[in-house]
Structure 1
Amino acid sequence: MNKTKSWLLCLGLVTLTAFLIECKKSVAADSGNNQVGNVNTSSTQVAFVHPGLLNTQASLDLVASQVNGGDADRTAAYQKVTDFINSHQYPTSFPATVVVGSNGATSPSKNQIRNDSELVYATALRWAKTGNSAYAAQAIAILNGWAKNFKNYGLLDSSTNPNQPDLEASWTTPGFVAAAEIIRYYKVNGQSAGWSEADIAQFSAFITLVKDNYINKIPQYNNNWDASAGYAKMAIGIFLNSTSVYQNGYDFIKTNLPIVINADGTLPELCVRKDCVHYQYSLTAFAYAAELARIQGDNSIWTANSNLISKGYDFMRKAYNRTTGCDYCTINSPVFPGTEVAYNYYKTANLKSLREMQTPLGVPNDNTFLGFTTYTHFGVAGL
């Protein structure tokens, strides 16, 4: 072989090697890109389902058709949605700083962001049921208002836990995201809500800011704080089509589930907090996280640790029976909406009796977790 041919062959091999290396880099980059909806082997999901935060296209189609067709039970559950909307005013301004306090201490801005996270979700459900573009516009206005104006959280006073904003963000952000999923992805008779790409990008920046500056900084308290943060990150990850954010929340849930709920189902928060609410925060967050994963094709949170979430609800039933040794629940204590979601999956006698105490379920009294689950989940299996 002459020198010219040899030189050309070497050059060709170098070029081919460089090309293959770049191809490998490109594939690796694509597999980790936040805009690609693939997750790693820690969960069974292949691609993100949208809408995928507690509701799907099929489930929303079903419940809407049942109300519009005159189904009495679904109509009564939907009434909780319209009742909430009718009892709350749509916001005309949005604070840049949300001031929060600990242990129930509140402020106008804290009340507003909690109320708005429920109101925007209710309005999105109303649009999905009716197809009325005016309701879509109202939901978009709330989503855009918070996305464009929110800057940070502030503390009410010196007694406020410095990490309280992390918890507040974990409670309210999934409500905004659930509404955003419907407005962005759901279609009524083939028609979308018309949310602009620029506004979607602004909203994505908003929830990323909240995640990075607050939710990611939640302390390890081994209670509802950690459950709430894991659920919130899973929700945010789905909307952002972010493998890493979703997986971080998913792993956080899997890690904290057997820490917060004992192997026999006991939730120490009932006795520690001396109320019938805080341990339900944990149960609700775990149930919602499990449902998010189920919609994404993975039942493993529901089944984790020998159906530990179900055992936790068995403990809740004992709490209402006042047989746990910590008698802080009564027949009039609130039943959080996670109960309906858990019953939809497990169908146990204990969950059936819990959900029937106050059905149809609306929203928590303190607006901490999105509600209306009797409307969205009762009898809606596998959708």
Structure 2
Amino acid sequence: MKTQTLKLWLCALVCVALVTVFVRCTKKTVSPVVDQPVESAAGNKKTNAVTFVHPGILNTQASLDYIANQANNNDADRLAAYQKVLDYCNTHSPSNGYKATIQVASSAGTQDETNFKGDALLSYALALRWAKTGNAAYATTVKQILDGWANAFQSITVVGTNPNPNQGSLEAAWAAPTFAAAAEIIKYYQTAGGQTGGWTAAEDSQFKSFLNKLKDNYINNTPNYHNNWVVSQGYAKMAIGIFLDSQAVYDSGVTLVKTVIPEIIATDGSMNGEICGHNDYTHFQYSLTGITYAANLAAIQFADYSIYTASSSRLLTGYQYQYKLIKGTVSPSCSVSGSPSNPIWPGIEIADRRFHTTETSYIRNLQAPYGLPGNDVGFLGWTSYTHHNVP
């Protein structure tokens, strides 16, 4: 009996083993193919199901908590920087000029441009104010602005003498990241008291449609002038990609920025194509600021510092050249009107936080705290409040 029982047990074990092998083989032949990790723009391996950091357009939950806590506890430097935010909020109101078609001009601004980009900046400044204070009225006004433009906007037309037909692409690339930065705060941030901005699914859907119109109809069609236009295009696509949770849109922006960096900034840091191409000390700072903001987005999202280090840290070399311009130790290859130190663009605050060299610190300290340089409405400002000495 023992021998027979042993044989029965051995037979059962063999059957189980055979069934197991059969089942494993069967599952292997019918199971779906699993996507392999893909290379990100950062060069890191990650799956296709990418999770973006939110809020993650220049600010994060942690950084907004940090600056709000400092300001609310009367840190003198943070309050001085926050005053720049208050100054803008207290001297500007929502335009209520939300239109289906806005008119822009190549050389001189229009009222529509002022309304469009000014409202983007105001929505961002008010979002920062809400994050600090928790006052729901500020979040409500931000949503009023964002909803107003998202519901009304359809197209951009170019007007004026000798208009550049592509001007709408640049205007869209300037406004979109600022609108998106404001929306990120209202959609995702939670104040110390646990308040949220009350962003609804309907608002989210309409705002995404608005960003897609700007991207698909204008930003994607930006001509490659190998200058600050492409920088703005790349930065805008990165910001839009973050809000849309679109890796493809985000990555295309990273590629644009990295490609144009060595085309704008020479190996010695000079940017004569920008400086002499416009005969001013403004447009080269558009490039430096746009690249810096793009680099900061990548650092937040994937701890990716490759834009900062791209082309042998060409961005830092550009700021070093700016320092030499200000100190008078180099000169561009043309006669340029104005002063290389008037005004300084707020990208320097983020650049100095990253590099913190003698040169970047010198430039940063010239005009800090930073609001909006010369009331220029191209790039968002207030970086002294949001970024100076923020971990």
TM over 0.5: yes
Distance 1:248 1:358 in 2: 34
Q: What does residue 229 of structure 1 align with? A: 233
Q: What does residue 368 of structure 2 align with? A: 359
Displacement, 1:158?
5.2
Q: What does residue 116 of structure 1 align with? A: 119
Q: What does residue 70 of structure 2 align with? A: 66
Q: What does residue 7 of structure 1 align with? A: none
Structure 2 counterpart SS, 1:91: coil
Structure 2 counterpart SS, 1:53: coil
**Is the contact between residue 39 and residue 243 of structure 1 (CA under 8 Å) also seen in structure 2?**
no
Matches within 5 A, 1:136-151: 136-151=139-154
Matches within 5 A, 1:297-316: 297-316=303-322
Distance 1:222 1:73, change over 3 A: same
Deviations 1:273-314 (A, max 9, x none): 110100000000000000000001201111112211111011
Structure 2 counterpart SS, 1:362: coil
Displacement, 1:332?
5.5
Distance 1:206 1:187 in 2: 24
Quick one: which of 326, 332, 340 aligns to 1:320?
326
Structure 1 counterpart SS, 2:367: coil
Distance 1:230 1:177 in 2: 14
Quick one: which of 352, 371, 379 aligns to 2:381?
371
Structure 2 counterpart SS, 1:248: helix
Distance 2:55 2:263 in 1: 31
Distance 1:187 1:86 in 2: 24
Matches within 5 A, 1:1-383: 19-20=30-31, 23-24=32-33, 28=35, 40-43=39-42, 44=44, 47-103=51-107, 105-157=108-160, 159-189=162-192, 190-268=194-272, 269-296=274-301, 297-326=303-332, 327-330=336-339, 333-364=342-373, 365-381=375-391
Structure 2 counterpart SS, 1:155: strand
Structure 1 counterpart SS, 2:55: coil
TM-score of the two chains, using structure 2 as the length reference: 0.87
**Is the contact between residue 39 and residue 247 of structure 1 (CA under 8 Å) also seen in structure 2?**
no
Larger Rg, first or second structure (1 or 2): 2
Name the Cα RMSD after superposition. Answer: 2.0
Distance 1:334 1:59 in 2: 27
Distance 1:71 1:39, change over 3 A: farther
TM-score of the two chains, using structure 1 as the length reference: 0.89
Distance 1:19 1:98, change over 3 A: farther
Distance 1:92 1:39 in 2: 45
Structure 1 counterpart SS, 2:164: coil
Aligned length: 357
- Unmatched tracts of structure 2, length 5 or more: 1-22
Displacement, 1:322?
3.3
Structure 2 counterpart SS, 1:99: strand
**Is the contact between residue 239 and residue 297 of structure 2 (CA under 8 Å) also seen in structure 1?**
yes
Structure 2 counterpart SS, 1:168: helix
**Is the contact between residue 187 and residue 196 of structure 2 (CA under 8 Å) also seen in structure 1?**
yes
Displacement, 1:100?
0.7
